[in-house]
Amino acid sequence: MEYRKLKDEDNDGGGGAGDLESLRGKPLSAITVSNVASNSSEKSKWKRKSMVTLALTVLTSSQAILIVWSKRAGKYEYSVTTANFMVEALKCALSLAALARIWRNEGVTEDNRLSTTLDEVIVYPIPAALYLVKNLLQYYIFAYVDAPGYQILKNFNIISTGILYRIILKKKLSEIQWAAFILLCCGCTTAQLNSNSDHVLQTPVQGWMMAIVMALLSGFAGVYTEAIIKKRPSRNINVQNFWLYVFGMAFNAVAIVIQDFDAVMNKGFFHGYSFITVLMILNHALSGIAVSMVMKYADNIVKVYSTSVAMLLTAVVSVFLFGFHLSLAFFLGSTVVSVSVYLHSAGKLQR
Q: Give the mean pLDDT of 205-217.
A: 85
Cβ neighbours of residue 31 closer than 8 Å, sequence gap 6 or more = 23
pTM, two decimals, is 0.71
pLDDT over 50 at 6, yes or no: no
Cβ contact 141:150 at 8 Å: yes
For the chain, give the percent of residues with pLDDT over 90.
Answer: 16
CA nearest to 303, candidates 66, 135, 60: 60
For residue range 74-106, list pLDDT tens digits in order.
Answer: 788 899 999 999 999 999 999 999 999 999 988
Residues β-bridged to residue 75: 72
Cβ–Cβ contacts within 10 Å for residue 43, how many?
10
Phi, psi of 171 (to 5 degrees): -95, 130
List for the chain the helix, strand, coil content (%; round to 5).
80, 0, 20
> With 60 as the cut, is the pLDDT of residue 3 above it?
no
Rounded CA-CA distance 194/27 in Å is 70
What is the tens place of the pLDDT at every residue in 26-49?
555 544 555 555 566 666 666 666
Mean pLDDT rounded to a whole number for the chain: 77
Q: What is the pLDDT of residues 277-304, one digit of tens each?
A: 999 999 989 887 777 666 555 544 456 5
